Chains A and B, each alone.
Chain A
Amino acid sequence: MCSSSVNSKSAVSLTVAVLIAASCLLEPVERTAGALSRKERFRGERLAAAAGHGAIFALLGGMRSLVASGSWLQANLAWERRDLATTTELIKLTVAADERPLYFWLNGARILANDIPEWRMAGPVPRAFRPVANEEQAQLALHFLEQGLRWHGPEPALYIEMANIHLRRRGDLEEAARYYRLAAEQPGAPYYAARIHGELLRELRRPVEALAWLQKILATLPADDELARRDIVIERIQFLEQELAVR
């Protein structure tokens, strides 16, 4: 112990008063500087999620990649055991620990939407329950991907995954077409998103809209990129033109 001490209570009051004044005065500066970590509120949610799993100190220390990788590994172990609740929780913890890699969002959503409904059908479960399980899990995965969009902004890969869920798990062509279009409209989107949107419009019996869309995207497709598949787009335009001419 030390022999010296501070006897003045006024020092404590002054300290608190100065800190309050400083926090008020520096609020505008904090807002400007906060652009670096503008997702603070989400980070608070992430910390709250991690706190329940004992990972908070690692996160506060900055070991986000490691915590996320560890919980992803555990999620995969739970996936092997077909442990529905643990897999779901660990997927959520993974993205709570590190929201940056799209890998976690996409693969997590695929497990939620495609694998878990099959686990829920195991055992003596009425066949009529399948659409219910499919719908519930699809909604869970869509909500999960919406959270991903909050972090990443309009990311085409996330929109495409949402479109896939609407198309393959829910059979909702209208919504699938909407999300493929959203994906296609983002910079850096893969060319196939626009092609699938056009194809879905045709399947929805809206050939005029499909033709207009394909003609619009054809103008933007580069001639020297094989992935753009201009030939397929031209073929589909010709097919739609013929179909409309017959009518």
Chain B
Amino acid sequence: MPDAVHRGATASLRRIRLIARHTLGEALRLRLTSLLVVVGAGLVLGVLELREFNFGSAELKFIADFGLGALGGLGMLLAALATAQLFFNEIQGRAAYCVLTRPVRRREYIWGKLAGIGALLALFTAALGALIAVLLFWRGGNAGAAMLPVLSCACAVQWFKLTLVAAMTLLVCSYSGSALFASCAGLILALTAQVRPFVSGGGHLTWLRLWPNLALFDAGAVLSAAQPPAALVLLGLIVYWAAYMTVFGVLASYVFKLREF
């Protein structure tokens, strides 16, 4: 990178932003994204039909719980599948080669991709979260409106979890040779991270501890607590999320740097 204009943190951030914007644009054009948004919206709206099958909890809680479940499940699929598809689309289409022959560092490419997918997941979470909020307000009036701060907090917790799944998948992508392998491995790793509670008591699965604990990002627990988590807990979650995002981002950048094209 000989040109002085391309050096420095500002220029680097600008390149990351450009790659992120491009990734977001590509992601929004994916059929998978549209499909998951439509299915997610359908599931969230479908809760109105499923209310008859609800026992035990209040209607508003059921709507919020079911909606967050749909958001979490489909969001996880989107995080793993879209990440792998976007990454390999560019490599297979040789678009990545064009970008990397320009004054763009490989780590900037990876962080740009991660930021773009993070933005996609934020839009997905916001869209389904807004739909749940509308349903809550419609069914519960003031009681529904009172749940909105907790719902926002639960959506934020879901977003943390989804971005971590995306970062894990990106790390797998940096190693792997095919989108199919990367997306399957990403989903398996996400499920592994979800079942970390199994190893809290020790036993022969203790080795799973080296993987992040996605069960910490429990939107259902936020919802059932009926109030946003304590500041210390929230800070702990943010630090945990940021640390693992950094770890996965740095590792993916390092491995991608070793990749031979």
Contact = CB atoms under 8 A, between A and B. Distances in A.
B209 interface: yes
B240 to A, nearest CB: 5
Nearest to B180: A1
Contacts of B247: 18-19, 22
Interface in A89-133: 98, 100-104
A200 B199 CA distance: 45
A26 B216 contact: no
Interface string B27-57: 0000000000000000000000010011111
A41 B198 CA distance: 7
Given A23-B210, A47-B198, A29 B258 contact: no
A69 B216 contact: no
A36 B199 CA distance: 17
Contact of A33 (B240, B255, B259): B240
Interface string A44-82: 100110000000001011111110111011000000000
Interface in B192-235: 194-201, 209-213, 215-216, 218-222, 224-225, 229-230, 232-233, 235
A41 B239 CA distance: 23
B198 A48 contact: yes
Contacts of A102: 56
A6 B257 CA distance: 9
Q: Which of A8, A58, A61, A103 has the most CB of B within 10 A?
A: A61
A119 B183 CA distance: 51
Interface string A207-220: 00000000000000
B99 to A, nearest CB: 14
A76 B157 CA distance: 35
B232 A6 contact: no
Given A11-B254, A29-B243, A32-B233, A100 B224 contact: yes
**B-side interface mostly:** helix
Given A1-B177, A11-B254, A30 B92 contact: no
A44 B244 contact: no
B259 A4 contact: yes
A7 interface: yes
21 contacts: A1-B178, A2-B177, A5-B177, A6-B258, A15-B255, A20-B210, A23-B211, A25-B243, A29-B236, A30-B236, A30-B240, A34-B236, A35-B230, A36-B216, A36-B221, A41-B197, A60-B194, A65-B65, A69-B54, A69-B55, A98-B56
Contact of B215 (A20, A43, A104): A43
B197 A47 contact: yes
Given A2-B91, A104-B55, A36 B222 contact: yes
Contact of B260 (A4, A22, A30): A4
B171 interface: yes
Given A41-B200, A101-B55, A66 B232 contact: no
A40 interface: yes
B69 interface: yes
B68 interface: yes
Contacts of A33: 216, 233, 236-237, 239-240
B103 interface: no
A163 to B, nearest CB: 22
A143 B199 CA distance: 25
A100 B198 CA distance: 20
A159 B40 CA distance: 41
B152 interface: no
